[in-house]
Amino acid sequence: MSLRFPVPWRALATATLCCLPLLGQADDRSMRDALHAARAGDWHKIDEAAIAGHELAGYVAYHRLRNRLPDAEPRSVLNFIERYADAPLAGWMRGQAIDRYGDAGRHADLLEVADGEPEGTARRCHYYTALLDRDPAMAAEGGRRLWRVGHSQPEACDSLFNTLRARGAIDEQRIWERQMLAWQAGENGLATYLGGLLGSRWQTARQAMARVQADDTAITRVSPCIGPECRGSGPFFAAAMHGHVRADTEQALRAWRRIAPQLNIAAEHRRAIEHDLIFYSLVRDVYGHRDWVDATLPQLADPDLLELRVRTALADRDWRGVLDWIQRLPDENRRDERWQYWQARALERLGDADAAERAYAAAATERSFYGFAAADRLGRDYSLNMERNSVDSADRERVSRWPAVRRTEALLRINEPGLAASEWYMAVRRASPRDARALGDYAHRRGWNARLVQTTIVGQLWDALEWRFPEAYRGDFLEWGRRTGVDPYLLMGIARRESAYNPEALSPAGARGLMQLMPATATQLSRQLGIPDPGAYGILDPQTNIRLGSTYIRDMLERYRGNRLAATAAYNAGPSRVDRWLRGSATVPFDLFVESIPFRETRHYVQAVLTYRAIFESLANGGNSEGVSMLTQAEKTARYDSSLLARQ
């Protein structure tokens, strides 16, 4: 580990550096130079006297000891881990030692520094390789878990797997099972390699696999007995049906109903096949086999499938079915405000107003999209369930002296925000609820808005709404909301959901900044506004990002006649998809439209953003939700179909 991280806190670090005393600046400069030299292995450039006693001296010591591995003795590693037990350095050093000792074959040393099974596949393989002679049974058990995946594993696993195969702990049955997993995952190269490890007893099984690979429908014509003593049947049919269901669900379901009575396979394989069949039958509206789905689903008792079945009943406007399937949910799921709300809606439609009101009231106690929607149905203010943040001066003083806090501050001063984040969040994870609140207070007073939001998540401070939804960039949101005519609280809700208020957030897809704009979208919006293209880095500027994001959501609002629900969905999924959903939709109210959004991510995104905007508005109102509405009356009563499109 080189201890190099993305730099989402550069502005904070710069702001901190500008305010340091001169002596601190000198010490920090020496520390910064020493850390850079340590990373490069330029030990002669390190001024040991200048960094002695510095809060971050351990970071240089980390690189020095890491550089000595695997020759360093385990006792040196354990002493380092003990000395820096309250810092991320301890865990990083343990991991590095496992890697280096494992690569060097120093198994006894590895086991001395390991603290049980490590995290990470390569390290686990090193760990169980080290146990092959000391505890063969444990090594075999752990190695088989690592083996049973449908993708290639790191080279660190090769020695472990080869030894277990040589000892018979991984036999041909397990090779076949893994080959089926690889086939199911589309890892054809791995599947071919594994097939080459099988003996002649598996020849007919390999032929059956090739036959079904060439023609999905051949699954009804192969023998129900696959492999020696039929022990390969379960993995084979699970893998074969997996692909068949995705290619043609209706045909696959007909095939399964034909062959299922003949198969003697393990319950786990039968369950996996039927799970796929039910899921895709419901998602793809395969109605011809609905009786089979409804008869089989209760036997699986899978909460996700049961919730999907409720959603299909909602799409069918089958209100009696909605009630029946909600009642089949596990107690924990059934008590969720989402299903309390839909139970109320079904009861209302079926004429039981008193029971509906009770269910709405139960849902309305929660701070969520459906909790707020239930409160709207009852004409009540929203239940914010908000805790006021109160930390006394003694706790503030105590936390400010914590070594982890001092290291965080020092890392920010030398422009190492990624390391600072690691220090901070480890401190929050280890903190008691009281101390986590004190750390949240510290982040709030320091103006670390993005870190503050993450602190509430790591510390599970769910009701600390003023911290979870800070006033960061409020002036910019209000200004660009006014200029573009966009609800500023909607802008805040989008930014909170998109980046958790991290102005330099970068997504894996390349979206950037507070409102997570793609550079190409920023270029297009800049041309539209007649301003210079900010480029990939200029888009990280909060004002620029908010301006462009506000313009984009304004365009979406114009596209959907000012409807914030549809515009929010388009911000996440793209307008072409939302257009298609609206054109393909029967006329439905807002709640049924939200629940019918086919993308889980977008469905949750819309609910979160609209909930967040109501919270931001309530906080602007002093934490009072009186007069706050998640949606306008027009948005609640709109027809969610093609009539919502401004351009037909």
Q: Give per-residue pLDDT as tens, 449-465.
A: 999 999 999 999 999 99
- What are the structure tokens assigned to 316, written together? 């069918």
Residue 499 pLDDT > 50 = yes
Nearest 5°: phi and psi at 8? -85, 0
Mean pLDDT calculated for residue range 519-528: 96
> Measured between alpha carbons, how far is 384 from 390 in angstroms, rounded to an integer?
17
DSSP code, position 621: T
Residue 568 pLDDT > 60 = yes
**How far is residue 321 from each of residues 313, 317, 325, 358, measured CA to CA in Å?**
6, 9, 6, 20
Task: Output the pLDDT for position 1.
Answer: 42
- What are the structure tokens assigned to 80, written together? 């380092």
Contacting residues for 403 by C-beta, under 8 A, at least 6 apart = 55, 86, 87
Nearest 5°: phi and psi at 384? -80, -25
Q: What is the DSSP string of 371-420?
A: HHHHHHHHT------PPP----HHHHHHHHT-HHHHHHHHHHHTT-HHHH
Q: What is the DSSP string of 12-46?
A: HHHHHHTT--HHHHHHHHHHHHHHHHHHHT-GGG-
Residue 428 pLDDT > 90 = yes
> Measured between alpha carbons, how far is 628 from 635 in angstroms, rounded to an integer?
14
- What are the structure tokens assigned to 284, written together? 């793809």
> Measured between alpha carbons, how far is 375 from 366 in angstroms, rounded to an integer?
9
Mean pLDDT calculated for residue range 527-546: 95
Neighbours of 168 (CB within 10 A): 9
**How far is residue 391 from each of residues 397, 441, 449, 464, measured CA to CA in Å?**
10, 7, 18, 12
> Measured between alpha carbons, how far is 409 from 423 in angstroms, rounded to an integer?
10
Residue 243 pLDDT > 50 = yes
Q: Please report, as a single letter, which amino acid is at residue 194.
A: L
Task: Output the pLDDT for position 648.
Answer: 55
**Residue ranges in 530-637 assigned as alpha helix (H):** 535-538, 542-559, 564-573, 575-583, 590-596, 600-620, 633-637
Contacting residues for 104 by C-beta, under 8 A, at least 6 apart = 70
Closest of 419, 425, 421 to residue 60, by C-alpha: 419
Q: What is the DSSP string of 113-142?
A: H--SSPSSHHHHHHHHHHHHHH-HHHHHHH
Q: What is the pLDDT of residues 169-227, one digit of tens each?
A: 999 999 999 999 999 999 999 999 999 999 999 999 999 999 999 999 999 999 999 99
Would residue 626 show up in a list of annotated catalytic residues for this protein?
A: no
Beta bridge partners of 527: none
> Measured between alpha carbons, how far is 152 from 164 in angstroms, rounded to an integer?
17
Q: What is the pLDDT of residues 323-362, one digit of tens each?
A: 999 999 999 999 999 999 999 999 999 999 999 999 999 9
Mean pLDDT calculated for residue range 104-124: 98
Annotated catalytic residue, options 177, 274, 337, 498? 498
Closest of 463, 500, 446 to residue 385, by C-alpha: 463
Burial class (CB in 10 A: 0-12, 13-18, 19+), 295: exposed
Contacting residues for 446 by C-beta, under 8 A, at least 6 apart = none
Q: What is the pLDDT of residues 284-325, one digit of tens each?
A: 999 888 999 999 999 999 999 999 999 999 999 999 999 999
What is the C-alpha R_g of the chain? 29
Task: Name the 3-class secondary structure at 10.
Answer: helix
Closest of 223, 259, 262 to residue 241, by C-alpha: 259
Answer yes or no: are the C-beta atoms of 631 and 487 closer than 8 Å.
no
Answer yes or no: are the C-beta atoms of 280 and 249 closer than 8 Å.
yes
What's CA 523's distance to the chain center, in Å? 29
Contacting residues for 155 by C-beta, under 8 A, at least 6 apart = 122
Task: Output the pLDDT for position 25.
Answer: 59
Closest of 255, 245, 239 to residue 206, by C-alpha: 239
User: Crossing angle, helix 575-583 and helix 564-573, to 10 degrees?
Assistant: 130
Answer yes or no: are the C-beta atoms of 570 and 581 closer than 8 Å.
no
- What are the structure tokens assigned to 404, written together? 């982890």
Nearest 5°: the CA angle 557, 561, 564 is: 45
- What are the structure tokens assigned to 586, written together? 């029967």
Q: What is the pLDDT of residues 206-217, one digit of tens each?
A: 999 999 999 999
Beta bridge partners of 640: 588
Mean pLDDT calculated for residue range 87-108: 98
Neighbours of 417 (CB within 10 A): 23
Residue 4 pLDDT > 90 = no
- What are the structure tokens assigned to 436, written together? 């986590």
Half-sphere exposure of 56 (CA within 13 A, CB side): 28
- What are the structure tokens assigned to 477, written together? 């949101």
pLDDT-derived band at 586, boundaries 50, 70, 90: confident
DSSP code, position 181: H
Task: Output the pLDDT for position 646.
Answer: 86
Nearest 5°: phi and psi at 621? -95, 25
Neighbours of 315 (CB within 10 A): 16
> Measured between alpha carbons, how far is 292 from 294 in angstroms, rounded to an integer?
6
Mean pLDDT calculated for residue range 496-518: 95
Contacting residues for 604 by C-beta, under 8 A, at least 6 apart = none
Q: What is the pLDDT of residues 6-64, one digit of tens each?
A: 333 333 333 333 343 444 556 999 999 999 999 999 999 999 999 999 999 999 999 99
The mean pLDDT of the chain is 94
Nearest 5°: phi and psi at 588? -135, 155
Burial class (CB in 10 A: 0-12, 13-18, 19+), 138: middle
Tell the residue number behind the tokens 């699954």, with chain if given. 219
What percent of the chain has a predicted confidence (pLDDT) above 70?
A: 96
What percent of the chain has a predicted confidence (pLDDT) above 90?
A: 94
